[in-house]
Structure 1
Amino acid sequence: MAEFSYRQRTILFTVDVEEFDTAVEFGHTISLAEQIAVSTQGLRLLSDRFDSVGVQTTLFTTANYALHEPALIRELAQKHEIASHGYFHTTFEPADLLKSRLALEKLLGQPVTGFRRARMGFVDPTDIQQAGYQYNSSLHPTWLPGRYNHWGEPRKPFVELGVWQIPASVTPTLRLPLFWLSLKNFPFSFYKQLCLQTLKADGFLNLYVHPWEFTDLAAYEKIPAYVRRYSRNELLNRVENLLRFLQPHGDFNTMSEFTASLTQTASVKA
Structure 2
Amino acid sequence: MILLSFDIEEFDMPLEYNGEIPLDEQLAVSRKGLQNILRILNQNQVKATFFSTVIFAQNNQDLVRQLLEEGHELASHTWFHSEFEEKHLAESKQELERLFDTKVVGLRMPRMMAVSEDAVSDAGYFYNSSINPTYLPGRYNNFNVSRQPFWQKRSLQFPASVSTIFRIPLFWLSFHNFPLSVYKLLSKLSINSTGFLNIYFHPWEFADISNPKYKLPSFTFKNTNEEMVNRFDDFIKWAKKNNYQFSTTREFLEDWTQKNKN
Calculate the TM-score normalised by the size of structure 2.
0.96
For 1:244, which of 224, 237, 245 is the aligned residue? 237
Instruction: After superposing the two structures, state which structure 1 stretch, 69-78 or 222-231, moved more.
Output: 69-78
Matches within 5 A, 1:183-202: 183-202=175-194
Identical residues among aligned pairs (%): 40
Q: CA deviation at 1:256?
A: 0.6
Specify whether residues 145 and 249 from structure 1 end up closer, same or farther in structure 2 by C-alpha distance, changes over 3 A only: farther
Matches within 5 A, 1:1-270: 10-79=1-70, 80-220=72-212, 222-247=215-240, 248-267=242-261, 270=262
Q: Deviations over 1:115-159 (max 9, x none)?
A: 000111111111110000000000100011121111111111111
CA contact (8 A) 2:76 2:106 kept: yes
Amino acid at match of 1:123: V
- Cα RMSD after superposing both structures: 1.0
Q: CA deviation at 1:250?
A: 2.3
CA contact (8 A) 1:196 1:246 kept: no
Equivalent residue number for residue 4 of structure 1: none
Q: Deviations over 1:12-58 (max 9, x none)?
A: 01101000001222112221111100000000011111111110000
Amino acid at match of 2:78: G
CA contact (8 A) 2:9 2:56 kept: yes
- Secondary structure (helix, strand or coil) at the match of 2:18 reads coil
Q: CA deviation at 1:162?
A: 2.3
**What stretches of structure 1 of length at least 5 have no aligned partner?**
1-9
Separation of aligned partners in 2, 1:266 and 1:228:
40
Separation of aligned partners in 1, 2:120 and 2:174:
28
Instruction: After superposing the two structures, state which structure 1 stretch, 135-144 or 248-257, moved more.
Output: 248-257
Amino acid at match of 2:247: N
Amino acid at match of 2:210: A
Q: CA deviation at 1:192?
A: 0.7
Amino acid at match of 1:218: S
Number of aligned residues? 259
Separation of aligned partners in 1, 2:112 and 2:104:
19
**What stretches of structure 2 of length at least 5 have no aligned partner?**
none
- Secondary structure (helix, strand or coil) at the match of 1:14 reads strand
CA contact (8 A) 1:158 1:165 kept: yes
Separation of aligned partners in 1, 2:74 and 2:196:
20
Amino acid at match of 2:82: T
